[in-house]
Structure 1
Amino acid sequence: MALRIDHVVWGVDDLDRAAEEVQERFGLASVPGGRHPGWGTANRIVPLGDSYLELLAVVDPDEAAADPVGSGYARHIRAASGLMLWCLANDGLDAVAARLGLGIQAKSRVLPDGTRIGWRSAGLPSALANPSLPFFIEWDVAPEHHPGRMEAPHAATPQGIVSVTVGADPGELSAWLGGAPLPVRLGGPPGVNVATVATSAGEMTIHDPSPRIAP
């Protein structure tokens, strides 16, 4: 199955306060996600239909410091909260990982209602080192349980992330994607700079200034 935009990760200092600011700025509500065991992080989900915005914070600094992924997230958030990573989904993760020589990691988290959702990912350490490049995910959930399908009281009905704007080397990004056609615009400093979301009221652009939460 073709690669598609699954979600954009927004690193924040405080989940609840960042969620309030995202709702004030964009009219987008969020719902509790869960903890990421081993990473020292937790998230809130802004469901957008077939995709979502992930608000992510470090909630256990010691646990995060002991893990390469957790410490990578912590490093980015300390530097500057804001749009941090972008993720592509497909149902052929093994082939993508083999093409790029990436390892695959299986993870899960538990929702507030006790439901466990699982996924496999590849390329997350590479994306943390170079956020111009996306990482890849394959979900082990029924389509209706995808995080983007969660219910939230948005001001307007979201219809998915329709494009991202990324500061990247065109050749490097094309090679990473295997030439797959994706709604990616190039521009700005290295990393993901803008997520454009379609809604029933028209398109909105999600970008910095981020919901930076002062300690």
Structure 2
Amino acid sequence: MLVSLRSEAATKGTNRGGALLRIDHVVLAVGNLEAAAAFVWDELGLGSVPGGRHPGWGTGNRVVPLGDAYVELLAVLDPVEAASSPVGTWIANASRAGHRLVAWCASTDDIEAAAERLGLVVAPASRSLPDGRTLTWRSAAFDRVAQHPDLPFFISWDGPAELHPGRARVEHRVEPLGIAWIEVATDPGALQAWLGAEEVPVRVVASGEPGVRAVGIQTARGEIVLR
């Protein structure tokens, strides 16, 4: 059964008296970053750019820019380091049988309010960009995604909009226009309670193993789907 939490205004996020909430990115666990980059290019016509390494996790990523959103390709780069990290172990297990959508993230313009409402801790983070600038952000609930892959973690980006990973320059075969929708297996009531008053373009499958099932990406030629 499909239950939609989407309204016409929800494609770009809706503010109904609270903080603006929108789908920021999805995480695709992969066994090999180069092979994953080739997959999204061959199957979807989308290019990607190098991201970086994650010290302490044993992982690294590539970014598929979509404009105001992106797909994060996440892989284990150091198996020894990953084995001692909850995040590294999670990605290693998730990607063992091939690529798999494992998480989704909602951006908010008031992450402190979202964290207070749900009893979460806001954690700052950063990474260096190739041009020497530093990308900084704050997130909440990322430590929960391995146990609750159906519920998004939250992020708030600092700095100018052009530093957002979705804005990175890359060659695509099709012109992406952002994430149109996401399909998630979850309890509709639990997801609505997690999102609060906000509406985002989510298609809920009210059965099966909780988690992200598919992502619809809008392009100039129509929708393409990542599963």
Q: TM-score, normalised by structure 2?
A: 0.86
Matched, 1:154 2:172: yes
Displacement after TM superposition at 1:179 (Å): 3.3
Question: How far apart in 1 are the matches of 2:194 and 2:98?
Answer: 26
CA distance in 2, matches of 1:99, 1:80: 36
Q: Identity over the aligned pairs, expressed in percent?
A: 51
Tell me what 2:134 maps to. Answer: 116
Kept in 2: contact 1:9–1:85 (CA 8 A): yes
Q: Which amino acid aligns with 1:192?
A: V
Partner of 2:183: 165
**Paired amino acid for 2:215:** A
RMSD (Å) for aligned C-alpha atoms: 1.5
Superposed displacement of residue 181, structure 1: 0.9
Q: For the residues of structure 2 that align with 1:112 and 1:59, how far apart are their CA atoms?
A: 19
Q: List alignment gaps of at least 5 residues for structure 2.
A: 1-18
- Aligned counterpart, 1:57: 75
SS where residue 78 of structure 1 aligns? coil
Residues 160 and 198, structure 1, Cα contact 8 Å, conserved in 2: yes
Shift of 1:71: 2.9
Equivalent residues of 1:34, 1:112 under 8 A apart = no
- Counterparts of 1:107 and 1:20, CA distance in 2: 29
Counterpart Cα distance in 1 of 2:160 and 2:54 = 20
TM-score (norm 1): 0.90
Secondary structure of residue in 2 paired with 1:129: coil
**CA separation in 2, counterparts of 1:79 and 1:133?**
23
2:225 corresponds to 1:205: yes
Gap runs ≥5 in structure 1: 208-215
| Corresponding position of 2:211 | 191
Aligned with 2:155 (options 115, 122, 137): 137
**CA displacement 1:43-81 (0-9 Å, x = unmatched):** 101000000000011112232233333333333223653
Amino acid at match of 1:198: Q
* Stretch moving more, 145-154 or 72-81: 72-81
Which of 25, 32, 39 is matched with 1:14 structurally?
32
Of 195-204 and 56-65, deviating more is: 56-65
